[in-house]
Amino acid sequence: MRTLLLVSILCSAFLPGAHAAMDDCGKEVYFAREDMLNELPLARPAPEFMKRLRAAGNGNAAEQRNLAASYESGYLVSSCKEKAVRWYRQAARNGDEQAQRWVAQFEALEKLAQGPECSDYLCDASAGDDGPRVMTLRSGRYGHFFADLTINGVTARDAVIDTGASDVAISTATAGLMGISLQGTETRASTANGVVAGITKIVPQLRVGQITLKGVRVTILPNLGRPLVGMSFLGRLKMSAAYGQMVLSR
């Protein structure tokens, strides 16, 4: 209880707009560094997080940037974009060059939401018939990028953006939910569990995030875990990645 109270005091004392940030993201949840999937909440913050928070509050620009990265990626603490932005900006004001580059790119990308483009959570699903032509994703924990994958109006959450995968890949179970038949060209694919047999086919339309393409090749594999967004989709887009953000455009 005393540790949690200290976190609250530190946040209130050192984070500009701290009370508003708490309202933005709700109650913070803390995790151990070895909890890669954030599945086991801690009763109190990990010592590493407390050390980082104290140093950031004392004006250490590098630790302010590290704290921002923790909030951005969900490392040691529940993800909160609003707090990440605040701490990156604080670090930038204190002279941290990496934070300054992050803020400059973030503010430039925010402007994409003003036109037919979109940026991550700023995307509007009700955009015009052709949809946005640019989308920006922010990396999750350990630098992976994720986006929702939609086929036939059914969405699979948090598909992995995987430039090492030849095709968009989904499991047979996901294909069933999406109304995709298992009729297609037989293929074999290398997975973490070895080489497995699958089916390859072209789906008429496929959406990743808010970017829609027609005639995309999809491979259906048994027992595949999280869906993969591979090069059959990504290869038709322009891609760039830097400072924890990926820009996809067509």
pLDDT value, residue 239: 86
Consecutive sets of 10 residues in the chain, 250 residues long: mean pLDDT of each?
A: 39 40 71 85 94 95 92 87 92 93 77 46 41 78 84 92 92 94 87 82 91 92 90 90 80
Q: Looking at the domain that runs over 115-249, which CATH code has it been given?
A: 2.40.70.10
pLDDT value, residue 129: 39
Residue 87 CA: distances (Å) to CA of 30, 48, 61, 100: 18, 17, 9, 11
Residue 247 CB: number of other CB atoms within 10 A? 19
CB 112 within 8 A of CB 211: no
User: If we measure between CA atoms, which residue out of 197, 207, 241 comes closest to residue 227?
Assistant: 207
Residues of the chain with CATH 2.40.70.10: 115-249
Token pair of 67 as six digits? 């704290």
Q: CA–CA separation, 134 vs 211, rounded Å?
A: 7
Burial of 21-58, coded b for 16+ CB within 10 Å and e otherwise, reads bbeebeebebbeeebeebeeeeeebbeebbebbebbbe
User: If we measure between CA atoms, which residue out of 125, 211, 203, 126 comes closest to residue 167?
Assistant: 203
Burial of 213-245, coded b for 16+ CB within 10 Å and e otherwise, reads beebbbbbbeebebbbbbbbbbeebeeeeeebb
pLDDT value, residue 32: 92
Token pair of 215 as six digits? 């005639």
